[in-house]
Amino acid sequence: MTILICGASGLVGRDLCDLFDRENINYYGTYHSCNDETFCERENMFRVDFTNPSEVADFFSNHKQELTVCIFLVVQRLVDVCENDWNAIMRVNINAVDMTSSLCARYGIYFIHLSTDYVFDGSSSPYFPDSTPNPLQNYGISKYISELRVQANYNNNPNYCIIRTPVLYSMNTNSILYDNAVTVLAKNVMDLRTHIVKNEDDHHIRRPVYIPDLCLFIRAIALLSINYLSEEYKFSGVYHYYHPDNCFTKYQMTVKIANCLGLPHLHIIPFKPDYTEERLGMAKRPYDTNLKDTQYNISSFSSSEFDETIECGFSRFKHPRLGTTESSYFLMFDLDGTLVHTSYAHYRSYLHVFRNRNLNFMTYQEWNRFINYKNIHTYLENIACELANHDIIETQNILSDLRNEKLEAFRIYALTYVIPTKNCHEILDFIEKNPDTVNAVVVTNSSKATIDVICEIVPILNKIKNWCFRETYTNPKPHPESYDLALKRYYNNEQYIIGFENTNIGYESLKHSAKIIYLYVDNDDEYSKTDKWYYKKDAYIFDDYKQVVSLS
């Protein structure tokens, strides 16, 4: 007997897989995309695109004899995304559910479908399973239609269960600050640029459910369907799973997260309904979809306290603020764009070299995007390879020439365009004054010769004695080798490992070595204003080192 988890790599699926693993429950999982290769390459994981009917049909045809329960978690859950593309949302939230539940009904497989409180308009709560749905937006409409499809496919057969839940959150995610609608609230709290005022909804009521609690409920239903032959013991039809006590606005949850992290929140302003959904560019939200259910005893299931789960989940970001000496710190800094503004100097240098060779080069806007996501060394190698007609020896010669020419140009442009990032002397002074408790290293993709030029122009950088530069490791960022090397060479068992970066490739390199990360944002960079990639990272955001050091 095997349980199938459709959407095992998703927000609920990961926690459910972990629960089944701990309890040795036999299951298969499916995924369409997956950020964790180790997870998705396991023998019980299968890649299935549930918007492809033939692919789904083939999978069930091949495994129908093994499957006893199907838990369907595949969903487009981003409400505002759903509002903008009905055809796309229909393929996932309606057609995929229809197809899968139809196959399960045909093969006698018990079907558990996860639905939402957004099938209600929130105007007359509480809502029970037999309350009349009235969704306000495409997301709720699609989920309600999916419920009707499941019920139609099973007709009078009670071999299915629909579970409606309110907003869900988990700490078992690839990104706490991006993956779910509760913990994402922390991105405004962990943005230390308190001069930027942010608004947060203090009107609509949310009743968050901790996903591990929901998983225990799903497990109980799945095992009941397997272990009891009598239909009266099965969960059949529509049920509501909810936390009996949680009741917060998004602003109130934001304040709780801020208090947990010990961070200010006065720059986050509560707003009331005078800001309409249309002005905010969002789909309509129900005021309060308070779910209730009398078909079972909710108190017999786990209901984790919101404050406790938040405290646990955000504990890895917590540390005594820099500027204090009560703890020891190992600080790892990127150089370019993090301690010194060098982007335009590098750009002008490469532009100079390429023009001298009558070669086209990217615009400055393209350059800023490129260095955020890709490595310039690979780019140069490809150019050299083309110029050398793929001759290996000549490629290396041209590559060496390009680098030497760029360095000579950089010596000139750096005099005008290389300056320290805002108040970086604050962190450098802190390092210099506390040698017994603060250990630091600069980890950069720049060459030693380039570093020497920069340090001549910005001599305060010499306050950091330890450096890992391009010649000291093989694989440049985003490969983690450079930061791994810094740890091996210079880490001395300090209590907190904290990293500072300013690009996506830098973050991807650093995240393997430091759980506490600060991302420097250049407010004068137009690219940073349009592509706010940093909001998707589990990191503090700042634009002035006073924001980092003065939070003691």
351-405 pLDDT tens trace: 999 999 999 999 998 998 899 998 888 889 888 888 888 888 888 998 899 999 9
Examine the domain organization and report whether 125 and 50 are in the same domain: yes
pLDDT at 171: 87
pLDDT of residue 5 exceeding 50 = yes
Examine the domain organization and report whether 406 and 446 are in the same domain: no
Examine the domain organization and report whether 17 and 130 are in the same domain: yes
Q: How many folded domains does the chain comprise?
A: 3
Residue 423 falls within a domain, yes or no?
A: yes
CA 486: distance to chain centroid?
26
Instruction: Name the domain boundary from 364, 396, 417.
Output: 417
Domain span at residue 297 reads 2-176+206-246+287-302
Cβ atoms 96, 74 nearer than 8 A? yes
Examine the domain organization and report whether 30 and 131 are in the same domain: yes
- The DSSP annotation for 264-291 comes to --TTEEEE-TTS-HHHHT-----S---B
The residue behind tokens 């988890």 is: 5
Tokens of 53: 């009917």
Residue 45 falls within a domain, yes or no?
A: yes
How many residues are recorded in the chain? Answer: 552
Residue 322 falls within a domain, yes or no?
A: no
Cβ atoms 167, 181 nearer than 8 A? yes
Examine the domain organization and report whether 241 and 387 are in the same domain: no
pLDDT of residue 524 exceeding 90 = no
How far apart CA 184 and CA 360 sit, in angstroms, is 41
153-200 pLDDT, tens digit each: 999 899 999 999 999 999 887 778 877 889 999 999 999 999 999 999
Examine the domain organization and report whether 447 and 396 are in the same domain: no
Residue 65 falls within a domain, yes or no?
A: yes
Examine the domain organization and report whether 386 and 425 are in the same domain: no
3-state secondary structure 499-547: EEECCHHHHHHHCCCCCEEEEECCCCCHHHHHCCHHHHCCCEEECCHHH
Average pLDDT, the chain: 91
pLDDT at 552: 43
Examine the domain organization and report whether 34 and 53 are in the same domain: yes
Beta bridge partners of 496: 329
How far apart CA 441 and CA 444 sit, in angstroms, is 10
Instruction: Name the domain boundary from 355, 388, 417.
Output: 417
Q: Say which range, 70-74, 133-137, 244-248, 378-382, has the weakest mean pLDDT.
A: 378-382
Q: How confident is the model at residue 229 (pLDDT cuts 50, 70, 90)?
A: very low
> How many C-beta atoms surround the C-beta of residue 303 within 10 A?
15
pLDDT at 22: 95
Type of residue at 365: Q
pLDDT of residue 279 exceeding 70 = no
Residue 258 falls within a domain, yes or no?
A: no
Q: Say which range, 205-214, 328-337, 519-528, has the weakest mean pLDDT.
A: 519-528
Q: Say which range, 37-46, 199-208, 209-218, has the weakest mean pLDDT.
A: 37-46
Residue 315 falls within a domain, yes or no?
A: no
CATH code, domain with 76: 3.40.50.720
Q: Is the pTM of this model over 0.85?
A: yes
Distances (CA, A) of 320 to 316, 325, 458, 497, 516: 12, 9, 29, 12, 12
Examine the domain organization and report whether 485 and 378 are in the same domain: no
How far apart CA 366 and CA 18 sit, in angstroms, is 42
Examine the domain organization and report whether 398 and 440 are in the same domain: no
Examine the domain organization and report whether 31 and 146 are in the same domain: yes
E-strand spans in 19-176?
27-31, 45-47, 67-72, 110-116, 160-165, 168-169
Residue 281 falls within a domain, yes or no?
A: no
Residue 220 falls within a domain, yes or no?
A: yes
How far apart CA 163 and CA 165 sit, in angstroms, is 6
Examine the domain organization and report whether 446 and 402 are in the same domain: no
